[in-house]
Amino acid sequence: MHTLTVKDVRIDDTFAEAFGMRATAVIITADSLRWARQAALTMTGFATSVIGCGCEAGIDGELTVTQTPDRRPGVRVLLFAVSTAELQKQLQTRVAQCVLTSLGSACYAGLEGEETLRLGNALRYFGDGWQISKRFGGKHYWRIPVMDGEFVCEATTGLTKQAVGGGNLLIMGRTAQTTLAAAEAATAAIAKMPDVITPFPGGIVRSGSKVGSKYKGVPASTNHAYCPTLRGAVATALDPDAACVLEIVIDGLTSEAVAAAMGAGIAAVTELGPDRGAVRIGAGNYGGKLGPHHYHLRELLP
Amino acid sequence: MKPLVLTLRERPDQRLDLAPLVPHRLAGMAAAEIERIELQTTRSRLALADIFRLRMGDATHVRIEASCDRLDRVGYEMAGGEIVVEGDIGMRAGRLMTDGRLTVHGNVGPWAASGMKGGTVEIFGDAGDHLGGPSPGEIAGMRGGVVLVRGRVGERAGDRMRRGTIVVEGIAGAYAGSRMIAGTLVVVGRTGPLPGYLMRRGTIMLGEGSDCLSPTFIDCGVHDLVAARLMAGFIGKHSARAAEILNRPLRRFAGDMAALGKGEIFARP
């Protein structure tokens, strides 16, 4: 399959297969970037995969004081789920438990959309009658009294049905250290791209999965074809020079954003070269029958 | 696009009702039709051509030149477009307006922006009593939109206001924000006695304080609120002086405890 080579890094002539998702975005601000990030990190914790967490979430980027509604430092958080109802539930509980509770925080819509999700409209009841509604500039905000002052929260945020989840890159290297260097270079490049997140810890997954299992009732299990320790025992997908595989999963608000992020990731890995980084880049798919979005690596090369 | 210009020939003998002269009602009318519009408020009939010199143009942009304080209900139920007035106008300017922009380079009479629902009213001179207030018998006054007064306002500005924003850069008379149901009133200058009299909800910002604050407002201490900064970002587009007030810590008074008591007055600490 290794028909492509860029800067001595082999690139599989294959594609990543991704799925349509519902997504939303919020902007979290605080008196300092440290506390805006803290609220966002707490809110996006345990949100790596819709299979076990209900949603996939992450920080899209940091916002300067000129980019936020209240002119304080902030971050933009993206949330992805498989249904509007689940997305609403996850948004509501996560903002209520992780942002409302974080000191000095405020929460605003991070996405314009014809359809909306309840944000402050759902949280205002915490005010127990002392909440204050404010409308200006075409926006609706709720002010909820809390112990350090007020929690300001926009009434609603936008919803998109054009989002894509599951764009991915498989990064294979000669050692764990060089593979990690390549994966970190890719996540750093993807972090700069707008409208995408990499929901796994540090943006990197080491336990890529396949659909199904030998055990009844287990929906997904280890992707044995990419496990280096099983290379001799199973029909492996690994080359002799690969000792470690790390995956980067990308969720984006649009298909174009996912494609651009994958391209940025590939460029960063190939830039590093096979000695300091990865020897080969692949992508995960299910034969093209499950997901409507196909990202062919050959079309994303730098 | 050239505006449609109406130049007042001379001060009329009677008060005139300019309600028909809003962009959406003038749209598609020929010059001859516009000149026949009757504007009298007494038994003595007056057509537009008797009072104004008409220069035809795009009706979405109406200019009234050499105006005087006998012209009432300018911008009545205005639903879009723009009206610019050079000179003073009478009462009920911009009443029940839903969208568009009314700019007055002069003073306006009482009940300006009365019951307004949307759009923007900007007054470079002074405004009379009951700015944004309800007509007698109406439950709510202003219900949306933005009113900017660069000069002074009379008594009861924002009376029974329910939503929207009023910014007064000059001073305000007695009972500013009386009986407010909700909404925001910012007075950059000093206000007369008893601002927020019997207000239920809503926010009043006092740039220079008040002659006498009702004892039914309770001091809640000095706070630096995110909501004030958020509002400053919005109001700053219209009035830099008003935004300056909001961008610093303010003392919050809750009231009016003689009514529901969920309103607030912010003043300098």
DSSP 8-state symbol, B244:
H
What does the pLDDT look like over B188-199, one tens digit per residue? 999 999 999 999
Is residue A242 domain-shared with residue A291, that is, in the same domain?
Answer: yes
Contact status of A145 with chain B (Cβ, < 8 Å): no
pLDDT the model gives residue A289: 81
Is residue A136 domain-shared with residue A247, that is, in the same domain?
Answer: no
Cβ neighbours of A124 in B, within 8 Å: none
Does the structure show a pLDDT above 80 at B94? Answer: yes
Structure tokens at A56: 């996939």
Does the structure show a pLDDT above 70 at A291? Answer: yes
> Radius of gyration over alpha carbons of chain B, in Å?
19
Does the structure show a pLDDT above 70 at A1? Answer: no
pLDDT the model gives residue B108: 98
Rounded to whole angstroms, the Cα distance separating B147 from B123 reads: 8
Is residue A93 domain-shared with residue A195, that is, in the same domain?
Answer: no
Strands B203-206 and B16-17: unpaired
- Which range of residues forms the domain containing residue A228? 4-18+163-299
A139 to chain B: nearest residue by CA?
Answer: B234
Is residue A284 domain-shared with residue A192, that is, in the same domain?
Answer: yes
In sequence order, what are the residues at sequence separation of 6 or more whose Cβ sits closer than 8 angstroms to the Cβ of residue A138? none
Cβ neighbours of B99 in A, within 8 Å: none
A273 neighbors A261 (Cβ within 8 angstroms): no
Integer angstrom CA distances of residue A26 from A119, A254, B227:
9, 16, 17
Is residue A114 domain-shared with residue A130, that is, in the same domain?
Answer: yes
The domain boundary residue, chosen from A160, A189, A208: A160
Tell if the pTM clears 0.90, that is, is over it: yes
A142 to chain B: nearest residue by CA?
Answer: B227
Residue with tokens 């050239």: B2
Is residue A13 domain-shared with residue A55, that is, in the same domain?
Answer: no
The amino acid at A289:
K
- Would you call B203 and A143 a contact, using CB atoms and an 8 Å cutoff? no
Q: How confident is the model at residue B115 (pLDDT cuts 50, 70, 90)?
A: very high
Residue with tokens 């909700």: B182
Domain assignments of chain B as residue spans, ordered by start = 1-78, 110-267
Does the structure show a pLDDT above 70 at B28? Answer: yes
- Would you call B227 and A72 a contact, using CB atoms and an 8 Å cutoff? no
Tally C-beta pairs within 8 A across A and B.
49
Rounded to whole angstroms, the Cα distance separating B221 from A176 reads: 58
Rounded to whole angstroms, the Cα distance separating B182 from A130 reads: 14
Q: What are phi and psi of B195, to 5 degrees?
A: -65, 150
The total number of structural domains that make up chain A: 2
Mean pLDDT of chain A: 95
What does the pLDDT look like over A227-261, one tens digit per residue? 999 998 999 999 999 999 999 999 999 999 999 99
Q: ipTM > 0.85?
A: yes
Quickly count: other Cβ atoms within 10 Å of residue A87's Cβ: 22
Calculate mean pLDDT across residues B238-257.
Answer: 94
Is residue A258 domain-shared with residue A134, that is, in the same domain?
Answer: no
Residue A159's DSSP bridge partners are: A24, A115
- Would you call A136 and B234 a contact, using CB atoms and an 8 Å cutoff? yes
Is residue A194 domain-shared with residue A108, that is, in the same domain?
Answer: no
Rounded to whole angstroms, the Cα distance separating A282 from A273 reads: 15
| CATH assignment at residue A263 | 3.30.70.520
Distance from CA of A30 to the nearest CA of B (A): 9
3-state secondary structure of A7: coil
